[in-house]
C-alpha cells in the first residue's frame, strides 16, 4: 500500500534521480498530448470523409490503424503522466488512486495497440498491392503545421516537467 511506503518526492523506482523523473514526465505527457491530437484529427477526418471512404477502402483502414495506435499511446502515456504528475507523498490515497487507475488502463492500451497491429498485418498485403498500382510521391510537408504545434507543446511540457521536479 502506498501509505505504508516511504514518503518520497517521486516514485521510489527513480532512486532520487530528479532528472529522470522530469524526463519521464516530459515524454509521457507529450506522448499523451500528441496522441490526443492525432486521434482528434483522424476521427475528424473519418467523420468528414465517411461517405467517400468505405470501411474497407485503403484510406479508412490506414486511418483506423492510426487511430488505434495513437489511442493506445494516448491511454498508456496519459495514465503514466497522471501518476507522475499526481505523485504526492502528503496524499497517499490520491497517489494510490492514480497508480491503480494506471493498472486498469494498461490492458486497454495494450488491446488498442494489438488491435492496430492485427489490422495492419491483415491489411498489409492488399495495401502494398494497392499502393504499387499508382506510385505517386507523397507530400509529407502538408502536415507540418500540426507537427509544429506538437513541437511547441513539447517545449512547454519539458519546461513544466523540469519546473515541477525542481520545485518539489
Which tens digits make up the pLDDT trace of 92-102?
999 999 999 99
The pLDDT, as a whole number, for residue 2 is: 62
Distance CA 101, CA 103 (A): 5
Which tens digits make up the pLDDT trace of 49-63?
999 998 889 999 999
Distance CA 93, CA 129 (A): 54
In contact, 77 and 31? CB cutoff 8 Å: yes
In contact, 126 and 65? CB cutoff 8 Å: no
Q: Which helix (H) or strand (E) holds 166?
A: helix 144-167
pLDDT greater than 70 at residue 3: no
Amino acid at each position: 500500500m502506498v501509505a505504508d511506503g516511504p514518503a518520497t518526492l517521486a516514485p521510489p523506482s527513480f532512486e532520487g534521480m530528479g532528472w529522470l523523473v522530469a524526463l519521464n514526465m516530459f515524454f509521457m505527457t507529450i506522448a499523451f498530448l500528441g496522441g490526443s491530437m492525432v486521434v482528434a484529427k483522424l476521427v475528424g477526418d473519418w467523420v468528414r470523409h465517411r461517405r467517400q471512404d468505405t470501411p474497407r477502402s485503403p484510406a479508412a483502414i490506414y486511418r483506423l490503424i492510426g487511430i488505434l495506435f495513437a489511442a493506445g499511446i494516448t491511454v498508456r502515456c496519459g495514465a503514466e503522466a497522471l501518476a507522475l504528475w499526481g505523485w504526492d507523498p502528503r496524499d497517499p490515497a490520491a497517489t494510490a488512486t492514480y497508480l491503480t487507475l494506471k493498472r486498469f488502463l494498461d490492458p486497454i492500451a495494450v488491446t488498442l495497440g494489438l488491435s492496430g497491429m492485427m489490422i495492419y498485418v491483415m491489411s498489409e498485403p492488399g495495401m502494398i498491392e494497392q499502393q504499387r498500382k499508382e506510385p505517386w510521391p507523397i507530400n509529407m510537408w502538408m502536415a507540418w503545421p500540426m507537427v509544429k504545434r506538437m513541437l511547441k507543446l513539447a517545449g512547454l511540457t519539458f519546461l513544466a516537467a523540469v519546473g515541477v521536479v525542481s520545485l518539489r
